[in-house]
Amino acid sequence: VYRRREQTDTLTAAQRRDLAMAMMDTLATLHRVEPAEVGLADFGRPEGYLARQVRRWAGQLDRSRSRPLPGIDELRDALAASVPEGANAGRIVHGDYRLDNLLATVDPPAVRAVLDWEMATLGDPLADLGLLLTYWDVLGDSDHGEGNPVADGIGPRAGFPTGAELIERYAGRSDVDVGPLHWHVALGCFKLAVICEGIHYRHTLGQTLGEGFDRIGDMVAPLVAHGLHAVRES
């Protein structure tokens, strides 16, 4: 599992690129799986998935509020008012697809297993891409991700390809209509901001312990800001 910067720093530039591309190839393969053919026809309700995601994380936000969070309600309302059609609905969605949820090798470059399926369901696979880009480009390419348990060791700042290169790789190996991803990145920012705020809240109560969790609350404001920018572009 490649999670920390001290791990990914040991990789060559070619190994980082190959690992990132293997990550995208695996996601494309997952999204090509026909749910009914693997016994998952009733795994979720794909209709209305994206709207339910906004409502779900809005409810989670209300249970985690402990301080003013400028802009987060505006982001929630903007997402709710502009939910896309979801033309790709009905695919298997992992729900938290990222590098450190994979068991991977670099010689040869391959993903051996995908971990952490607790948010998996049937829905729009673009949600996986939007959240991955949130980890990769929003946190992984900013000062807020460095040294943080959520986004350390990934993204362009850690020597990996850009998010645009990842999406290009995915699009070339998937039958999913990728299209513009601004709304889905905004949803990823909102979801991750709510998750980080929940961790921050539990940390202030002494319920979440560990290295880096004292700084996780600092990530909420930049996530909200980027989410607002992305949803306005959608």
Task: Work out the mean pLDDT of the chain and round it to a whole number.
Answer: 91
Please say if the pLDDT value at position 211 is more than 70. no
Q: Looking at domain 5-233, which CATH architecture does it have?
A: Alpha-Beta Complex (3.90)
| Global pTM exceeds 0.85 | yes
Instruction: List all residues 6 or more positions away from 184 whose beta carbon is below 8 Å from its beta carbon.
Output: 84, 124, 126, 127, 129, 130, 131, 133
Burial class (CB in 10 A: 0-12, 13-18, 19+), 85: exposed
Burial class (CB in 10 A: 0-12, 13-18, 19+), 223: buried
Structural domain spans, the chain: 5-233
Q: Which of 63-72, 138-147, 179-188 shows the lowest mean pLDDT across its residues?
A: 138-147
Task: Using alpha carbons, select from 196, 234, 164 the residue that is nearest to residue 64.
Answer: 196
What integer pLDDT is reported at residue 227 of this predicted model? 98
* Confidence band of 139 (pLDDT split at 50, 70, 90): confident
Whether the ω angle into residue 125 lies within 30 degrees of 0, i.e. cis, is no
